[in-house]
Structure 1
Amino acid sequence: MNVEYIVESIELIKEAMPDSLEEFKLMGLAKDGIYKRLEFAIQALLEGLSELGRKREIIALSYSDLIRSLEEKGILPKETAEKAEFLAQLREVLIYDYDLMNDEIAFRNMEEYIEYVRELLEFLRGVEG
């Protein structure tokens, strides 16, 4: 898991986020960059969870299966698992259904997305450390 890249992505997103929804909608490629950095940060976290799963001999066909297995084995707390599942689903939209992204919802919830990334990162750091 590339911790520095995740932290850098979070900081770049925070720096780039404008003050208003109107500004966000008009950002063009810069807005796409925000979404891409969020996607990359989530992907790095999911890779960290995959690594954790391999160490615990968990075999999963999807990130959802992995998260569920980690929770069932008591490795991933329920609340953290719910946030990880949300991020995994958000990643899927960012990658495969980008046209479904709603700028208004994303603008309103970006801080929450970033907080979920931070919480999962802290969890993984605690498990690794």
Structure 2
Amino acid sequence: MKKEEIGYRIKLIEKSIQAIRTSFPKTQERFSKMGLAKDGIYKQLEFAIQNLLDALNEISSSLELGAVSYRGIIENLHKEKIIDDELKEKLDFLVQLRDVLVYNYDILNDEIAFKNMEEYLQFLEEGLKFLTSFLEGEG
């Protein structure tokens, strides 16, 4: 397993989460009126999710679990008891959110995103905790 690759992705995820937290407005109305800055928040969210999924792919590949999709990677990590039920559910949600951010950007609802952004970031942070503890366990 390429520990340095996963470590690098952890740093990118942390940087994206920090960028979102520091630029996220206090009101939904302000969020909706941010224009390109709002798009930047969505892009940072997508980037963080992508890095988390790519790190999970790195783990899956190193364990030779053989999956071709992010859903398959998560399923295999769960089946092998590397991730628990709760984390699997959150990762499955992040895959769906990533798909919307990448392929269906036009259907994003700013009001829903504003209300749920903290939850999205918490899911990412739980993924970070998993990656960090996995790396430490591989030490």
- Distance in 1 (CA, whole Å) between partners of 2:99 and 2:41 is 16
Q: CA deviation at 1:55?
A: 1.4
- Distance in 1 (CA, whole Å) between partners of 2:107 and 2:135 is 35
Matches within 5 A, 1:1-129: 1=6, 2-129=9-136
More displaced 10-residue stretch of structure 1: 33-42 or 1-10: 1-10
Q: CA deviation at 1:117?
A: 0.2
Identity of aligned residues (%): 48
Aligned residue identity for 2:53: L
**Please, what is the CA RMSD of the aligned residues?**
0.7
Scaled by the length of structure 2, what TM-score is found? 0.91
Pairs aligned (count): 129
- Secondary structure (helix, strand or coil) at the match of 2:26 reads coil
Aligned residue identity for 2:105: Y
Contact 2:100 2:108 in 1 (8 A): yes
Deviations for 1:34-90, whole angstroms, at most 9, x for unmatched residues? 000000000000011001101111111210011011101111111001111110110
- Distance in 2 (CA, whole Å) between partners of 1:127 and 1:5 is 17
- Distance in 1 (CA, whole Å) between partners of 2:66 and 2:107 is 31
Scaled by the length of structure 1, what TM-score is found? 0.97
Aligned residue identity for 1:119: E
Which one has more relative contact order, counting CA pairs under 8 Å at least 6 apart?
A: 2
What 5-or-longer segments of structure 1 have no aligned partner?
Answer: none
- Distance in 1 (CA, whole Å) between partners of 2:15 and 2:57 is 21
- Secondary structure (helix, strand or coil) at the match of 1:123 reads helix
